Amino acid sequence: MTVKPYVRAVPRYTWFLAHSRYLRYITREVTCVFIGAYAFLMLVGLKRLAEGREAWEAFVQALASPASLVFHVAVLAFALYHTTSWFNVTPKAMPIQLGDGFVPGRVIVGAHYAIWIVLSLAVLILAGVF
């Protein structure tokens, strides 16, 4: 080639603002920060529990503060978005072929939701909620 083609640069740090589907993707990726933060909080709780009754009760009391409630609501929202956005793409990654056809995607997604509900109920029962 004798003449130089023109290369359009992709903005390295702001590319995801270019399209709504990129924003949706970045939101899904960011949710893991909140999931991680909550897992860390659980670890702190476990440590407090190991430290004895007083430490545990102080921890539980701290959980009832307004800041903690705001944090929990935010984490719940992000965790729900995280879960649903990943569940909804499972048929792409794990198609199941039965003979000449594929199991409909909604069945695979549905199975994930069903297992999620069953496991959540099991945890709630173990925690003595019912």
Binding site for other proteins (CB under 8 A): 1, 3-8, 10, 12, 15-16, 18-19, 21-22, 25, 29, 89, 91-95, 97, 99-102
Give CA–CA dist 130/82, Å, rounded: 27
From the CB of 46, what's the least distance to other proteins, in Å? 30
From the CB of 31, what's the least distance to other proteins, in Å? 14
Nearer to other proteins, 12 or 53 (CB): 12
Backbone torsion region of residue 99, taken as left when φ is above 0, otherwise alpha when ψ lies between -120 and 50, otherwise beta: left
From the CB of 9, what's the least distance to other proteins, in Å? 9
How many residues comprise the chain?
Answer: 130
Give CA–CA dist 122/124, Å, rounded: 5
